[in-house]
Amino acid sequence: MGEETGYAFAPTLAPIAKFGEYIKIVPDEKFYRVVNVEPLPTLVINFGSLAANTKDADRIDIVTNLLRMPDNTLAQLRIKLLDDFKLYFYQPKTTARGTTNQLQFYIDYNTQNLPDSLTEFFQFENRSAGIVRENPSATALTSTRVLFYGFKYTLEPVTITPEKYTVVPVGKG
């Protein structure tokens, strides 16, 4: 049986695995060897305007046309909001992340003062993910900009159970 050695969601952003190291994708329970790592410095996406005191009725797909990764590719991403609104995260697009029995956690402009690791997520290939925006203020927003940054890993599937590996949670396929 292998040993889990790496950790996702570290306070300081750093690659979760290096060249030649192994990653276990869950819930798939599959292992991959890292064949390339590259930084993703910044990507700003403007999801458009948002009226005062409103919340999106439908989830916005952030993968199909925006964050889709090639086959055997994993992105380790963190989020920063550049405008003052709330962002609810779903991965897959149908499942809320960060929930209790009655509440769903969100990222907002004030989250900037918390550790960035609290906004980290992993995007594997074309797995679905989505967001819902909420503007709780009495002022309409002309933009709802989100900054994504992190690392991209090119992976090679392996059939062995490596001795050491990093476990990475991703949305269901």
Give pLDDT tens digits for 46-85: 999 999 999 999 999 999 888 889 999 999 999 999 999 9
pLDDT score at 95: 83
Give pTM, 2 decimals.
0.88
| Residue, of 153 and 112, whose pLDDT is higher | 153
H or E stretch including 130?
A: strand 130-135
Q: Is 169 within a domain? A: no
Q: Is 96 within a domain? A: yes
**Cα angle: 94, vertex 105, 59; to 5 degrees:** 30
pLDDT score at 168: 93
Asked whether residue 12 carries a pLDDT value surpassing 90, the answer given is no
pLDDT score at 2: 57
Q: How many CB atoms lie within 10 A of CB 27?
A: 10
Q: Are strands 60-61 and 107-108 parallel, antiparallel or unpaired?
A: unpaired
Q: Tell me the per-residue pLDDT of 124-133, one tens digit each, with 9 for 90 and over.
A: 999 889 999 9
Q: Are strands 145-158 and 121-124 parallel, antiparallel or unpaired?
A: unpaired
Q: How many CB atoms lie within 10 A of CB 23?
A: 25
Give me 95's structure tokens: 């499942």
CA 53 vs CA 24, 34, 133, 143: distances in Å = 42, 45, 11, 15
Cα separation, 128 vs 55, whole angstroms? 21
**Residue in this structure with the two tokens 């709802």, named with its chain if needed:** 144
Q: Is 173 within a domain? A: no
DSSP assigned state of 117: G
Q: Is 52 within a domain? A: yes
The structural domain count of the chain equals 1
pLDDT score at 88: 93
pLDDT score at 93: 86
What is the average pLDDT across 78-102?
A: 88
CB under 8 Å to 116, separation ≥6 — which residues?
11, 13, 78, 80
What is the average pLDDT across 109-130?
A: 85
Q: Is 80 within a domain? A: yes
Q: Which domain holds residue 126?
A: 3-160
